Structure 1
Amino acid sequence: MKNYLLLFAVIIFSTVFSMAQNLTEPPVSDFDVYQKDIPHGSIDTVQYFSSTVGTERTTLVYTPPGYSTSEKYPVLYLLHGIGGDEFEWLNGGHPEVIFDNLYAAKKMKPMIVVMPNGRAMKDDRATGNIMARDKVEAFATFENDLLTDLIPFIEKNYPAIKDREQRAIAGLSMGGGQSLNFGFGNLDVFASVGGFSSAPNTKQPKELVPDPELTKKKLKLIFISCGDKDGLIGFSKRTHDYLDETNIAHYYYIIPGGQHDFVVWKASLYNFVQLLFK
């Protein structure tokens, strides 16, 4: 616990931020600790048909405390890494605990959070050689599954607000690269994008942002984070550098001592969701 406290205490002082964005507070010491005596959201395991893959696929859907089908909610699509699946965030980071605690503290806007399998292929398990060509390519194929199949399913079956400004996408590692690629690449679909420790699948900055002025106009929130001991930090930095060069406002969190792990990703998620849908 002392190591967690030390890490989070220095985040606010060592964070690099760009374009005069306001910083949120570092996570409190028990931000990821389950609290019994507060309202809790629900997580459902849901099946949807993917025309992209040609089979039924699984996604997890978190709904907030007090969820009601008579209300409308913004939606965050939260993606996993190359070695995970739709259960990686749940098993490794327990985002539902972070969300419930933030709701209890009145620091998060009610939203639906969708945690899909970002490996769009019939055998989408994280087994065997996870670096095999077909499995890596399936992460790119997921863009079509997301846009063509998953988002329409969510918006048909949940009281989701069908507006780009009320959709966000974020992820860790491979999912961070997907989020940047899909978010920047579909400005008519998403208005908020988060990449946590984004992996080498992240497109080159000029490919991500071919039209800086349009990106400035369309994206309300861009959030990039990484641990400073993460060997993949260069992919986050090059994106940050280009956004700075083109004067595009964004958050850039570098966590001192941070590795490629859930310590960084949970702290990133904690900060990111507090900025969403404002």
Structure 2
Amino acid sequence: MAKYHLILNNAPAGYDQYGETVARGKIDTVEYVSKTVGTTRKMMIYTPPGYTENQRYNVLYLLHGIGGDETEWCHHASPQVILDNLYAARKLAPMIVVMPNGRAMPNDRAEGNLFDTDKLKAFEDFESDLLYEIIPFIESNYWVQIDRENRALAGLSMGGGQSLNIGLGNLDHFAWIGGFSSAPNTKAPERLVPHPEEATSKLKLLWLSCGVLDNLKHVSDQTHAYLSQHNVPHIWYEESGGHDWPVWKNDLYHFSQLIFQKFQV
């Protein structure tokens, strides 16, 4: 069975609470013009403590779920606290984190029937927005590295499915990919990874995780089974909990420490 044997325990107590001497990064709301959607759109961007033009940073693109928007991670998980603490402990590679709105349509708010056909299609259309609008904007306006090895893509639930669909379909853009409790929008495994040898050669890290009580766990189970059958190295993390924020915060804690590091899973 092809996977990276890594023992993962739940994040330690206090990982999501600031210590007294921890330097703090910054989260800003940023607007960009999207030709894909035809509107000006918003995203949240985390820059780490000491962010400076004197170095180039990696970029993690972090996606939300079907009921959220660009603010969801910040409202429910305080990712800046988790990341600032890890920076203080010297456990992270230098990175900025981009939290866009994965619903690529003019009214991109999470309102009304979230499962309307046009809203579901907007999550598919987000691929173009990410590749051709967001990434070029970030690489033109922030001090970041621009190679595939310096880009990661991960998300929760609907965003987990998007991350697998977009990331594995664009291995020339992303080398680090994570799906947290990925939703049924995730493509069938044989469509996600039609060429296992290519995926194996290009991926630095492929992460799949899900709470053992999650009623969507079958999605991650079948992806994991396919990857194992076809010898595609990946991390498979079954953790305590359901389809909820304690799981996704824990995933961010672990995943962020693995990306942009000098090993290949």
Whether TM-score is above 0.5 comes out as yes
Q: Which residue of structure 2 lines up, in the alignment, with residue 245 of structure 1?
A: 229
Of 172-181 and 106-115, more deviation after overlay is shown by: 106-115
- Write out aligned runs for 1:188-203 (5 A): 188-203=172-187
- Write out aligned runs for 1:1-278 (5 A): 19-24=3-8, 26-256=10-240, 258-278=241-261
Give the direction of change, closer, same or farther, for the CA distance of 1:169–1:20 in structure 2 (3 Å limit). closer
Per-residue deviation, 1:24: 4.9
User: What are structure 2's unaligned runs of at least 5 residues?
Assistant: none
Distance 2:43 2:213 in 1: 32
Q: In angstroms, what is the RMSD of aligned CA positions?
A: 1.1
Which residue identity lines up with residue 216 of structure 1 in the other structure?
T
Distance 1:259 1:158 in 2: 36
User: What are structure 1's unaligned runs of at least 5 residues?
Assistant: 1-16
Q: Which residue of structure 2 lines up, in the alignment, with residue 11 of structure 1?
A: none
C-alpha contact 1:18 1:252 (8 A) present in aligned 2: no
Which residue identity lines up with residue 243 of structure 2 in the other structure?
H
Deviations 1:29-50 (A, max 9, x none): 0001123421010001000000
Which residue identity lines up with residue 142 of structure 1 in the other structure?
F
Normalised to the residue count of structure 1, the TM-score between the two structures is 0.92
Which residue identity lines up with residue 256 of structure 2 in the other structure?
V
Per-residue deviation, 1:28: 1.1
Distance 2:149 2:8 in 1: 21
C-alpha contact 2:8 2:237 (8 A) present in aligned 1: no
C-alpha contact 1:86 1:116 (8 A) present in aligned 2: yes
Per-residue deviation, 1:20: 3.8
Distance 2:168 2:220 in 1: 14
Give the direction of change, closer, same or farther, for the CA distance of 1:18–1:91 in structure 2 (3 Å limit). farther
C-alpha contact 1:18 1:251 (8 A) present in aligned 2: no
Per-residue deviation, 1:109: 1.0
Q: Percent identity?
A: 56
Distance 2:112 2:163 in 1: 25
C-alpha contact 1:167 1:192 (8 A) present in aligned 2: yes
Give the direction of change, closer, same or farther, for the CA distance of 1:20–1:125 in structure 2 (3 Å limit). closer
Partner SS for 2:82: helix
Q: Which residue of structure 2 lines up, in the alignment, with residue 13 of structure 1?
A: none
Of 70-79 and 26-35, more deviation after overlay is shown by: 26-35
Which residue identity lines up with residue 58 of structure 1 in the other structure?
K
Per-residue deviation, 1:18: 5.2
Q: Which residue of structure 2 lines up, in the alignment, with residue 3 of structure 1?
A: none
Which residue identity lines up with residue 246 of structure 2 in the other structure?
V
Deviations 1:65-102 (A, max 9, x none): 11002210010000000000000000011111100010
Distance 2:113 2:202 in 1: 38
Q: Which residue of structure 2 lines up, in the alignment, with residue 8 of structure 1?
A: none
Distance 1:163 1:112 in 2: 15
